[in-house]
């Protein structure tokens, strides 16, 4: 436990000081107020949500032991920091696109990435298992699938370019909804009591297939909308919010139907 706790503390301090450092500099005040709120508040809400999952649905050995709860919570916070670095390499960077370029569309996309990664890690903590290696295996499986889906959809539909270069707010909102929905599905796919690695992989393939369907649908829609770049409806926030909510609602209903509610 001491080793994992130390790793969690190190990752949390390293990544989140880096994340929140801009708030003590003058540059943070160049951001729009909503972007500042997203940059500051969304990670806190994600960690709080993970805390509720650990208290409510994790193994008894975790939720009844405060030290283990704190250890997994810190590991989860560090996990979010690592995923943000990777997402930055994959096209949308919180530090570069939010802070340096003051891009509101990127704020939505980064928020979706954080929520999705939280869902993946939270799902890995739901159920009984022999130890932390099981949680890490399941978290790697679900988060790795999330990275893969983002990479494929972005390559096919140029979402990161639309968000970071064109600054289309509607695209950022829709990306947030899709990422959140994918995180819910992938996180749900790694829930349950541990049996074996092969069984987990088999169950994941059986349960995570709707995320692939979502990816195909989103790719088709975003390519179609990008081809209509002269149409103001492409960047209309209201319609994009509705579509993003539909994505999330469908994913939540799927998870609820499987018994995670």
pLDDT of 205 over the 80 cut: yes
Average pLDDT, the chain: 89
pLDDT of 138 over the 50 cut: yes
Torsion sign across C-alpha atoms 41, 181, 234, 237: negative
Neighbours of 199 (CB within 10 A): 11
| Interval 243-256 mean pLDDT | 96
With cut-offs at 50, 70 and 90, classify the pLDDT of residue 254. Answer: very high
With cut-offs at 50, 70 and 90, classify the pLDDT of residue 261. Answer: very low
With cut-offs at 50, 70 and 90, classify the pLDDT of residue 120. Answer: very high
Residue 52's pLDDT is 97
Tell me how far apart the alpha carbons of residues 255 and 251 are, in angstroms, rounded to a whole number: 6
Lowest mean pLDDT among 16-25, 31-40, 85-94, 146-155: 31-40
Who has greater pLDDT, 244 or 20?
A: 244
Q: What is the pLDDT of residues 14-48, one digit of tens each?
A: 888 888 876 666 555 455 566 667 778 899 999 99
| Interval 174-201 mean pLDDT | 96
With cut-offs at 50, 70 and 90, classify the pLDDT of residue 236. Answer: confident
Q: Which two tokens stand for residue 15?
A: 């990544």
Residue 17's pLDDT is 85
| Interval 48-61 mean pLDDT | 95
| Interval 61-74 mean pLDDT | 94
Q: What is the pLDDT of residues 207-234, one digit of tens each?
A: 999 999 999 999 999 998 877 655 566 6
| Interval 117-132 mean pLDDT | 95
With cut-offs at 50, 70 and 90, classify the pLDDT of residue 96. Answer: confident
Helix ranges (H only) for 31-158 are 33-57, 60-63, 66-89, 104-124, 132-157
With cut-offs at 50, 70 and 90, classify the pLDDT of residue 202. Answer: very high
DSSP state of 208: S
Cα angle 151-156-162, degrees, rounded to a multiple of 5: 85
Residue 16's pLDDT is 86
| Interval 94-119 mean pLDDT | 88
């Amino acid at each position: 436990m001491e080793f994992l706790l130390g790793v969690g503390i190190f990752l949390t301090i390293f990544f989140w000081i880096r994340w929140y450092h801009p708030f003590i500099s003058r540059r943070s005040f160049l951001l729009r107020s909503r972007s500042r709120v997203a940059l500051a508040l969304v990670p806190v809400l994600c960690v709080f949500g993970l805390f509720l999952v650990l208290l409510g649905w994790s193994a008894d050995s975790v939720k009844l032991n405060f030290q283990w709860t704190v250890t997994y919570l810190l590991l989860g916070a560090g996990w979010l920091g690592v995923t943000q670095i990777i997402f930055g390499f994959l096209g949308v960077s919180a530090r570069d696109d939010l802070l340096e370029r003051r891009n509101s569309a990127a704020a939505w996309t980064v928020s979706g990435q954080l929520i999705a990664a939280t869902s993946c890690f939270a799902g890995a903590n739901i159920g009984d298992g022999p130890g932390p290696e099981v949680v890490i295996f399941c978290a790697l499986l679900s988060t790795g699938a999330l990275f893969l889906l983002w990479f494929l959809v972005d390559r096919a539909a140029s979402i990161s370019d639309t968000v970071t270069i064109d600054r289309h707010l509607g695209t950022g909102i829709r990306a947030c909804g899709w990422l959140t929905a994918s995180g819910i599905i992938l996180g749900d796919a790694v829930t349950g009591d541990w049996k074996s690695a092969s069984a987990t992989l088999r169950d994941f393939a059986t349960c995570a297939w709707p995320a692939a369907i979502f990816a195909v649908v989103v790719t088709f829609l975003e390519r179609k909308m990008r081809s209509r770049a002269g149409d103001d409806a492409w960047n209309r926030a209201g319609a994009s919010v509705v579509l993003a909510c539909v994505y999330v609602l469908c994913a939540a209903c799927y998870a609820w139907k499987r018994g995670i509610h």
